[in-house]
Amino acid sequence: MKVYNVAIDGPAGAGKSTVAKMAAAALGFIYVDTGAMYRALALYFIRHGIKAEETARIGEALPTLDVSIEYRDGEQVVLLDRENVNAFIRTQEVGQMASLISPLPAVRKKLLFLQRGLAERTSVIMDGRDIGTMVLPDADVKIYLTADAQVRAGRRLKELEAKGESCEREEILREIVARDEQDMSREVSPLRKAQDAVVVDASNLTAQEVADRIVSLVRERCEKCR
Ligand code: DC
Protein backbone atom coordinates (compact mmCIF):
# COMPACT_ATOMS: atom_id res chain seq x y z
CA MET A 1 0.00 0.00 0.00
CA LYS A 2 1.33 3.44 -0.92
CA VAL A 3 2.26 5.57 2.03
CA TYR A 4 2.13 9.38 1.89
CA ASN A 5 4.68 11.63 3.47
CA VAL A 6 4.13 15.26 4.38
CA ALA A 7 7.09 17.37 5.54
CA ILE A 8 6.62 20.51 7.62
CA ASP A 9 9.65 22.62 8.43
CA GLY A 10 10.00 26.02 9.98
CA PRO A 11 11.42 28.04 12.84
CA ALA A 12 10.74 27.55 16.55
CA GLY A 13 7.28 28.51 17.68
CA ALA A 14 5.68 28.78 14.21
CA GLY A 15 2.97 26.34 15.35
CA LYS A 16 4.24 23.34 13.40
CA SER A 17 3.26 20.73 15.97
CA THR A 18 -0.23 22.17 16.60
CA VAL A 19 -1.17 22.31 12.94
CA ALA A 20 0.59 19.04 12.06
CA LYS A 21 -1.42 17.24 14.75
CA MET A 22 -4.69 18.72 13.47
CA ALA A 23 -3.92 17.92 9.84
CA ALA A 24 -2.73 14.39 10.70
CA ALA A 25 -6.00 13.71 12.56
CA ALA A 26 -8.05 14.97 9.59
CA LEU A 27 -6.12 12.82 7.12
CA GLY A 28 -5.69 9.72 9.29
CA PHE A 29 -1.90 10.03 9.13
CA ILE A 30 0.55 9.66 11.99
CA TYR A 31 2.12 12.82 13.34
CA VAL A 32 5.87 12.59 13.93
CA ASP A 33 7.48 15.36 15.99
CA THR A 34 11.21 15.11 15.26
CA GLY A 35 12.09 18.01 17.56
CA ALA A 36 10.95 15.81 20.46
CA MET A 37 13.61 13.27 19.50
CA TYR A 38 16.36 15.92 19.64
CA ARG A 39 14.87 17.11 22.91
CA ALA A 40 15.02 13.58 24.38
CA LEU A 41 18.74 13.35 23.61
CA ALA A 42 19.24 16.88 25.00
CA LEU A 43 17.48 15.83 28.21
CA TYR A 44 19.86 12.90 28.61
CA PHE A 45 22.90 15.16 28.26
CA ILE A 46 21.50 17.73 30.70
CA ARG A 47 20.70 15.01 33.24
CA HIS A 48 24.22 13.61 32.91
CA GLY A 49 25.97 16.98 33.11
CA ILE A 50 27.28 16.68 29.54
CA LYS A 51 27.72 20.05 27.81
CA ALA A 52 26.98 20.62 24.10
CA GLU A 53 30.65 21.37 23.43
CA GLU A 54 31.78 18.06 24.98
CA THR A 55 31.50 16.30 21.66
CA ALA A 56 33.70 13.35 22.66
CA ARG A 57 31.43 12.54 25.62
CA ILE A 58 28.36 12.95 23.43
CA GLY A 59 29.90 10.66 20.81
CA GLU A 60 30.58 8.02 23.47
CA ALA A 61 27.11 8.23 24.98
CA LEU A 62 25.12 8.15 21.72
CA PRO A 63 25.53 4.47 20.79
CA THR A 64 24.43 3.48 24.31
CA LEU A 65 21.23 5.53 24.12
CA ASP A 66 17.91 4.30 22.89
CA VAL A 67 15.38 6.83 21.58
CA SER A 68 12.12 5.45 20.26
CA ILE A 69 8.58 6.57 19.55
CA GLU A 70 5.31 4.98 20.50
CA TYR A 71 1.73 6.11 20.05
CA ARG A 72 -0.55 5.93 23.06
CA ASP A 73 -4.15 7.10 22.60
CA GLY A 74 -3.07 8.85 19.42
CA GLU A 75 -0.34 10.85 21.21
CA GLN A 76 3.34 10.54 20.34
CA VAL A 77 5.29 9.28 23.33
CA VAL A 78 9.07 9.69 23.24
CA LEU A 79 10.94 6.99 25.06
CA LEU A 80 14.49 7.56 26.24
CA ASP A 81 15.93 4.21 27.29
CA ARG A 82 12.29 3.04 27.59
CA GLU A 83 11.34 5.94 29.94
CA ASN A 84 8.46 8.15 28.77
CA VAL A 85 10.10 11.59 28.83
CA ASN A 86 7.23 13.64 27.33
CA ALA A 87 6.73 15.52 30.59
CA PHE A 88 10.36 16.71 30.76
CA ILE A 89 11.28 17.81 27.25
CA ARG A 90 9.13 20.91 26.72
CA THR A 91 11.21 23.40 28.69
CA GLN A 92 13.19 26.30 27.22
CA GLU A 93 16.37 24.78 28.66
CA VAL A 94 15.84 21.48 26.87
CA GLY A 95 14.85 23.26 23.61
CA GLN A 96 18.00 25.35 23.70
CA MET A 97 20.18 22.29 24.42
CA ALA A 98 18.45 20.41 21.58
CA SER A 99 19.32 23.26 19.23
CA LEU A 100 22.96 23.21 20.41
CA ILE A 101 23.48 19.46 19.96
CA SER A 102 21.47 19.15 16.75
CA PRO A 103 24.33 20.29 14.45
CA LEU A 104 26.45 17.30 15.52
CA PRO A 105 26.56 14.81 12.64
CA ALA A 106 26.49 11.80 14.99
CA VAL A 107 23.31 13.11 16.64
CA ARG A 108 21.61 13.71 13.29
CA LYS A 109 22.66 10.35 11.90
CA LYS A 110 21.15 8.50 14.84
CA LEU A 111 17.80 10.26 14.51
CA LEU A 112 17.67 10.24 10.71
CA PHE A 113 17.55 6.46 10.74
CA LEU A 114 14.65 6.44 13.17
CA GLN A 115 12.74 9.16 11.26
CA ARG A 116 13.10 7.56 7.83
CA GLY A 117 12.10 4.18 9.24
CA LEU A 118 8.82 5.62 10.55
CA ALA A 119 7.99 7.33 7.24
CA GLU A 120 8.67 4.19 5.20
CA ARG A 121 6.08 2.18 7.08
CA THR A 122 3.18 4.60 7.48
CA SER A 123 1.69 7.78 6.06
CA VAL A 124 3.10 10.55 8.21
CA ILE A 125 3.10 14.27 8.74
CA MET A 126 6.58 14.89 10.06
CA ASP A 127 7.74 18.23 11.38
CA GLY A 128 11.19 19.59 12.12
CA ARG A 129 13.90 21.68 10.50
CA ASP A 130 15.32 19.49 7.73
CA ILE A 131 12.44 17.16 6.87
CA GLY A 132 11.80 18.44 3.34
CA THR A 133 15.48 19.02 2.57
CA MET A 134 17.16 16.00 4.13
CA VAL A 135 15.00 13.45 5.95
CA LEU A 136 12.23 13.04 3.36
CA PRO A 137 13.46 14.74 0.18
CA ASP A 138 10.79 12.87 -1.82
CA ALA A 139 7.89 13.83 0.46
CA ASP A 140 4.58 14.16 -1.42
CA VAL A 141 3.88 17.57 0.12
CA LYS A 142 6.36 19.97 1.71
CA ILE A 143 5.35 22.97 3.76
CA TYR A 144 7.59 25.71 5.10
CA LEU A 145 5.65 27.19 7.99
CA THR A 146 6.78 30.49 9.32
CA ALA A 147 5.47 33.41 11.39
CA ASP A 148 6.75 36.73 12.63
CA ALA A 149 9.16 36.33 15.60
CA GLN A 150 6.99 38.60 17.81
CA VAL A 151 3.93 36.47 17.09
CA ARG A 152 5.87 33.27 17.81
CA ALA A 153 7.14 34.69 21.11
CA GLY A 154 3.59 35.63 22.10
CA ARG A 155 2.33 32.11 21.39
CA ARG A 156 5.21 30.46 23.29
CA LEU A 157 4.49 32.74 26.25
CA LYS A 158 0.86 31.63 26.29
CA GLU A 159 1.87 27.96 26.11
CA LEU A 160 4.30 28.35 29.01
CA GLU A 161 1.76 30.31 31.08
CA ALA A 162 -0.82 27.59 30.46
CA LYS A 163 1.63 25.13 32.01
CA GLY A 164 2.11 27.41 35.02
CA GLU A 165 5.65 28.46 34.02
CA SER A 166 6.39 32.15 34.39
CA CYS A 167 8.56 33.77 31.76
CA GLU A 168 9.34 37.23 30.36
CA ARG A 169 8.11 37.89 26.83
CA GLU A 170 11.39 39.65 25.95
CA GLU A 171 13.42 36.70 27.15
CA ILE A 172 11.34 34.30 25.05
CA LEU A 173 11.77 36.53 22.02
CA ARG A 174 15.56 36.62 22.55
CA GLU A 175 15.67 32.82 22.80
CA ILE A 176 13.54 32.39 19.69
CA VAL A 177 15.76 34.72 17.67
CA ALA A 178 18.90 32.98 18.99
CA ARG A 179 17.48 29.56 18.15
CA ASP A 180 16.49 30.67 14.62
CA GLU A 181 20.03 31.90 14.11
CA GLN A 182 21.55 28.64 15.42
CA ASP A 183 19.21 26.42 13.40
CA MET A 184 19.58 28.40 10.16
CA SER A 185 23.31 29.08 10.22
CA ARG A 186 24.65 25.63 11.09
CA GLU A 187 26.57 23.79 8.42
CA VAL A 188 24.87 20.44 8.82
CA SER A 189 21.21 20.26 7.74
CA PRO A 190 20.40 23.93 8.39
CA LEU A 191 16.80 25.05 8.56
CA ARG A 192 15.89 26.27 5.11
CA LYS A 193 12.96 26.07 2.77
CA ALA A 194 13.11 23.11 0.38
CA GLN A 195 12.95 24.32 -3.22
CA ASP A 196 9.62 22.59 -3.76
CA ALA A 197 8.06 23.59 -0.42
CA VAL A 198 4.92 25.71 -0.17
CA VAL A 199 5.49 28.67 2.16
CA VAL A 200 2.72 29.31 4.67
CA ASP A 201 3.03 32.45 6.80
CA ALA A 202 0.97 31.80 9.91
CA SER A 203 1.37 35.28 11.46
CA ASN A 204 -2.24 36.22 10.76
CA LEU A 205 -3.84 32.79 10.50
CA THR A 206 -5.43 30.59 13.13
CA ALA A 207 -4.11 27.07 13.67
CA GLN A 208 -7.30 25.72 12.11
CA GLU A 209 -6.82 27.85 8.99
CA VAL A 210 -3.25 26.62 8.59
CA ALA A 211 -4.27 22.99 9.19
CA ASP A 212 -7.09 23.30 6.60
CA ARG A 213 -4.62 24.70 4.09
CA ILE A 214 -2.28 21.75 4.64
CA VAL A 215 -5.11 19.22 4.39
CA SER A 216 -6.28 20.67 1.09
CA LEU A 217 -2.74 20.69 -0.31
CA VAL A 218 -2.37 17.03 0.65
CA ARG A 219 -5.75 16.14 -0.85
CA GLU A 220 -4.84 17.87 -4.11
CA ARG A 221 -1.76 15.70 -4.43
CA CYS A 222 -2.71 12.40 -2.85
CA GLU A 223 -5.43 10.43 -4.63
CA LYS A 224 -6.18 8.23 -1.65
CA CYS A 225 -6.82 11.12 0.72
CA ARG A 226 -9.68 12.75 -1.18
O1 DC B 1 10.90 21.90 17.09
P2 DC B 1 11.57 21.94 18.45
O3 DC B 1 11.60 23.30 19.06
O4 DC B 1 11.02 20.90 19.38
O5 DC B 1 13.10 21.51 18.15
C6 DC B 1 14.12 21.61 19.12
C7 DC B 1 15.46 21.76 18.42
O8 DC B 1 15.83 20.53 17.79
C9 DC B 1 15.53 22.81 17.32
O10 DC B 1 15.88 24.08 17.81
C11 DC B 1 16.56 22.28 16.36
C12 DC B 1 16.52 20.79 16.57
N13 DC B 1 15.85 20.11 15.48
C14 DC B 1 16.60 19.84 14.35
O15 DC B 1 17.76 20.22 14.28
N16 DC B 1 16.06 19.13 13.33
C17 DC B 1 14.79 18.71 13.38
N18 DC B 1 14.29 17.99 12.36
C19 DC B 1 13.98 19.00 14.51
C20 DC B 1 14.55 19.73 15.54
Can you give the CATH number for the domain in which 137 is found?
Answer: 3.40.50.300
Q: Are residues 165 and 218 in the same domain?
A: yes
Using the CB atoms, write b or e for 129-159: b if 16+ within 10 Å.
bbbbbbbbeebbbbbbbbbebebbbbbbbee
225 Cα: distance to centroid of ligand 1 (angstroms): 28
pTM, whole model, 2 decimals? 0.92
Question: How confident is the model over 160-182, as pLDDT tens digits?
Answer: 888 888 889 999 999 999 999 99
Nearest atom in ligand 1 to the alpha carbon of residue 115 is: 18
32 Cα: distance to centroid of ligand 1 (angstroms): 12
> Can you give the pLDDT at residue 138?
96
Using the 3D structure, point to which of 121, 138, 160 is the last residue of a domain: 121
C-alpha to C-alpha distance for 15 and 122, rounded to whole angstroms: 23
Q: Is the pLDDT of residue 224 over 70?
A: no
Name the residue at shortest CA distance from atom 16 of ligand 1: 129
Q: For residue 20, name the pLDDT band (cuts at 50, 70, 90).
A: very high
Q: Are residues 173 and 117 in the same domain?
A: no
Q: Ligand 1: residues within 6 Å at CB?
A: 12, 34-35, 38-39, 95, 98-99, 102, 128-131, 179, 183
Q: Look at the chain and report how many structural domains it folds into.
A: 2
What secondary structure does DSSP assign to 167-216, as a single string?
A: --HHHHHHHHHHHHHHHHH-SSS-----TTPEEEE-TTS-HHHHHHHHHH
129 Cα: distance to centroid of ligand 1 (angstroms): 6
Report the percent of the chain where pLDDT is more than 70.
Answer: 99
39 Cα: distance to centroid of ligand 1 (angstroms): 8
> Can you give the pLDDT at residue 225?
62
Q: Are residues 150 and 86 in the same domain?
A: no
- Residue 89's domain comprises 34-121
Q: Are residues 38 and 148 in the same domain?
A: no
Q: Are residues 97 and 84 in the same domain?
A: yes
Q: Is the pLDDT of residue 226 over 70?
A: no
Question: How confident is the model over 53-95, as pLDDT tens digits?
Answer: 999 999 999 999 999 999 998 889 999 999 999 999 988 899 9
Q: Is the pLDDT of residue 125 over 70?
A: yes
Q: Is the pLDDT of residue 105 over 60?
A: yes
